[in-house]
Structure 1
Amino acid sequence: MQLETYISDLLYRYDCVIVPQFGAFLAQRISAQVHETTHSFHPPKKKVSFNEQLQQNDGLLANYIAEVEKIPYQVAVEKIAKKIKTIKSYLTQGETIALNNIGDLTLNAEGHISFEPSEHINYLTDAFGLSQFTSAAVSRTTHKATVEALEERTPIAITPERRQSRPYLKYAAIALIALSITGFAGSNWYLNSIETQNQVAQEEANDQMDARVQQATFVIENPLPAATLQVEKPSGNYHIVAGAFRVEANSDKKVEQLREKGYKARKIGSNRYGLHEVVYASYTDRIEALQALRAIKREHNAAAWLLVKALD
């Protein structure tokens, strides 16, 4: 049993996945960050950690395994216990347990489990498609110092005495306001006149069209029988996401590629970051969606994930 696969699936939707009699994997949301030295931008993500103290079975992992493998709940609990027994045996022998897409587990000198999370996967679905990038450094202090030096050399000051010594500016301002009001009023009159003329012309054209329609006689000989087309409308709240694209043309191309492979691919809109999301298919049944997800991750795209969302 690939226990890490089930844990990885649940970390996309939950912040705590407890493995009974072993510990809990916790996912904490971290905001986007900018490294001051390398000037690299990191998108928001979920940082995974491990807490050995949380071992009480809450049923989440066992129920999920039971649904996917279609086995009784108690059988799923026994399979988890058997897998954990094997992992603990390897840890006591000093080996490192590598959980794919989650991290590495080791046993320290005090006999406690140490966890090193994997950094190449982001469990925050809102940030799907966002990647790290590096930008050139932006220096704001230099520009500010330049502006301050320029202001010291060329001070600009308007005093009351200077305004009083130029009375013609006041009259020029009054004249400018008067011209603006006159021009605005004339512009409104001209626009209203054009709109009235357009409305009269439109009414005359409509009257002529009505007269021609009333004079015409339409006779259809041997009409074709009515055809009924069955169009399958995609539905369901369980969507298997193939990718998210900032350019909509790329999302259209992805839909065409997936449809050529036989998938019922489509676009389901944009997420909160403005990325156009493309799905392999949508399902109304959760178990059917999970089975399809496992098949897609195994045969086509290991990064595919399940989105639970009601579409308008």
Structure 2
Amino acid sequence: MILQQYIQEVLFKQRICVVPQLGTFSVQHFPAHYNSHAQTLTAPREQVMFTQQWQDDGSCVEWIALKENLVPAVAQRKLEKYLEELKAELQSGKPLVLPGIGQLQGDFTGNIHFHAEELPVEKETLDLTPIERTTDSRTAPAFVPPPPEALEPIMTEEVEDTLEAVTEESGFKWWWAAIPIAAIVIGLAAWWYLSGISKAVSQSETPPDMEVTAKQLAAAAADSIQKALADSTAKAAITPITYYAVVERYKDSTIAVKKQKQQLAWGKTLVLYKRDSMYRTAVELHSLVADTTVQRDSIRKVFGNKVFLEF
């Protein structure tokens, strides 16, 4: 059955697998457990869990479309057909075997029971005996280990691709801000050059008409500088900029990606990028400089007053 293959491939790759109209499979990690009363240590383990609650994220239709080379509409009809076959088999009471995962079995009330497959080798529980150590005042003080270093969040391939794509798209278009700086530099260079010419002309006893020409050149240079500054300021005022309305900040990239997908499921598209060791979910905006406050207030109506702008 095609859905059995879908569950096997997706579950162990993404640790969660949603089958519409059936339920959700997930791989749960149980850490090591120490029983202080019995003085035993149970090894960590992972177990496949199943619940009849589900929220269709479109992964199943997309997988069928890629697997059978179909358009999404045809893949959706195929999925409905496969689900009818699966439900009919479960209603018969016959166990549905999922190799490496477990068994699904329906009952007469319509409920589905899942029996996880047991591992062939079970890790033994360790018996621990406490060690009593006497302290001698003449001995040197015990060595205190340094605190553990903070670990970077584990980056999966999907998260890394998402962050790289967002980083490439989130480059700030600062070219318009460089225009006034360039105009000032050109003006200073022109002033320095004309000052040198004026000094050379005055030292060589130039005729009066040459002095007038130098003054005219200096006045023309000053007019050109003012005109360049005015043009650059006007161009910056009418040139749209790209900036971001930050909704949330996270230290863990995995949590940030999860929140981004959750907002996407609710119909809210957010971008994800990293700045100052924090991962941000934000709304990408394009507007004039004068309209940034209006854009921020409109985003706050959707996500709350904690939204702020970053350029």
TM over 0.5: no
Greater RCO, 1 or 2 (C-alpha within 8 Å, sep 6+): 1
Q: Please classify the TM superposition score into its range, dividing by the shorter chain length.
A: 0.3 to 0.5
